[in-house]
Structure 1
Amino acid sequence: MSLGVQQRVEILKVLSRGTNILILDEPTSSLTPIEVQDLFKTLRKLKASGRSVVFITHKLKEAIEISDRIVVLRKGLVVGEVPAGQASPEQLAVMMVGKEITPHFTRRDLEPGDPILIVKNLKVMSDYGTVAVKNVSFEVRTGEIFGIAGVEGNGQSELVQAITGLRPVAEGEIVFKGTRIEGLNPKKIYKMGIAHIPEDRQRYGLVLDLSFAENSIIGRQDEPQFLLKLSRLNWQKIMEYARSLIQKFDILTPGLKVPVKSLSGGNQQKLVVGRELSKEPVLIVAVNPTRGLDIASTLYIRELLLKMRNEGKAVLLVSADLDEIMQLSDRVAVIYEGEFLGVGKIEEFTREQIGLMMGGIKKGV
């Protein structure tokens, strides 16, 4: 099952036990807006019946909406408590980070260029032999962010895996820079200019027991700049490169030789993003790039993606976070059960319309 389906099953299991104290850790991360409101109704009923709920989240608006009291943790310590009715997202953000956070999203007015990625009538199978992607067609142009919104488990993982060479294509075409790439292995595809920020950094983006420096060159370890004679690794160059990532992408790490599992989730994600963007790609495929990150890391990653777009790169953003889709996308498609229910410019849709389509309802679109 996908992460989203697993999460919903766990919530239902806990609620079915008639518990008196319910602890929920990021329970809405893979739910549609409609499902979030359904969950909130259930939580309010539990509260009215005398039960207690601990709601752990980094989504500030949701914390204010559902909570009576909000306690803020930073680096494992309680830094403050405030009644929800007196809290604002800006106030909570300062408490979480320890300083004022000012978004610097600058969207340059760009006329998108030619399509660099063209997907035609794509059909992809799941691991279970069912059709995961059903006759999907779209294109991504230079100088734009094309967002794909959807609750996890609706075919977006298989779609991205097909584009990046990690899963075979059953039918259809994937054309990148005028060349069909279905059937090519991931290494060849990446060398053509595609960077991939995977949906699960620990499973697909990093080798947790390897060092920071070793993880910094995954996928690039055979490039001449990192090799000596007889294909031996040039550790001096690797260390210099790793230091450059730390400086350029503001990564906090105890050292270059420490296992990458010792880094926080936000800094692990910055390493993956920095490594991929340093390949100087022309297309960035980013899947849930800010999931589970604190507000500062989230803003940083989103600003980087917008910067790539402003520099004329193409970005394919696949996300279950509706705020992220609305904030970053120039055009958007909504995927449900492997099909696109709607495709168009972001300003052509309301937040409510996209939320409904994420749940399979196309009313009013």
Structure 2
Amino acid sequence: MLGCYGQPNNRLLSGWVLAAKDDSDGDSLLKQPIDYTLVWSSESLKIKQDGNGYIWLPIAPQGYKTVGHVISSTKDKPSLQKIRCIRSDFTDETKNDTWIRGPANLSYMPNLRQIDTLFQAYSPWIYFHPNEAYLPSSVSWFFVNGGLLYKKGEESKPTPIQVTGSNLPQGGENDGNYWLDLPIDEATKERVKKGDLQNSQVYLYVKPMLGATYSDLEIWVFYPFSGAAKAKVEFINISLGRIGEHVGDWEHVTLRVSNFNGELHSIYFSEHSGGSWVNASELEFQGGNKPCTYSSLHGHAMYSKPGLVLQGSGEIGIRNDTAKSKIVMDTGLQFSLVAAEYLGSTTIVEPPWLNYFREWGPKISYNLADEIKKVEKVLPGKLKTAFEKFINGLPDEVLGQEGPTGP
């Protein structure tokens, strides 16, 4: 053994102990340490413990280096037989997240068949709030049902979008010259806003992570529209008018899977402009290995548990309400692999819309001050100032004033 592995006791084991065997004929590649130095102990921690823990640094003999620590449950130094040090010319300085053998050798990354197998095993369920009115659709459904491309300076002549997005501007950067919007006809616009869950699909982007020891399977969900937000101001729940509305909403979760054994390690849940990683042992599963994901009402932020998450500080914030309902999406039934660069440029043909890097919705124009005043009418005097300060501190992405970009 070259070093111990440690993690919190309340999580499923998810690491490895590095071991080595010396087959050299000459100078030994591995040697015992000559002593130990205590580098940490839990004795001083004022927490409930089943027992104390101790971390020891092995002292390597001359010409050798230590590459790990030893953990014990007593004050006594561990046995020198417990660990080995490595000859110095077989070691190097560690650099987090860098390649060991270079990006050219990615044979341990999943191929197309293995990607399909992994996703069928771990494809999440997405539960929508029972009151959700704005559901996902496929990108092609949005285009076919009247999605429009606008160009700055030519707003009176929007262009219908081809089913694959082949007439969308390709590459470049988000320069503000192009954006997408809903159909002009009011009846069609309201219908498209609601999405089409039955025929929707998710989009997969697979890439190597942590030196290709893991694969990240990003699962992107498209919503034609996100509805207005609600706020909680101490004991009062209030609608925020048009605040939070925007066209073309993209949300995602990411599955991190081990390339050693194919186990699900953790999931990233996107939450508006941020997000969080949740260990696999803390997830809710349904139907075997399929994790449950909860989409917040109107805003579509992703969470691992149902309930209320307040985006703010103290007792004032934007409500992110999630709940299990009969409105649910099994992502494994309808998905499309749209990108995996490590497989080569000819293995997967990326849809043209994936290379559209501009905004998927217009910049919504409304008077924020007027919207705030409408809300403040129902608030007691002492809460008005605090609420206004909170709203003015929110990013445009949350306020819904800026159209979001794509995956």
Query: Normalized against structure 1, the TM-score is what?
Result: 0.24
**Structure possessing the higher radius of gyration over alpha carbons:** 2
Q: Hey, which of these two has a bigger chunk of strand by percent?
A: 2
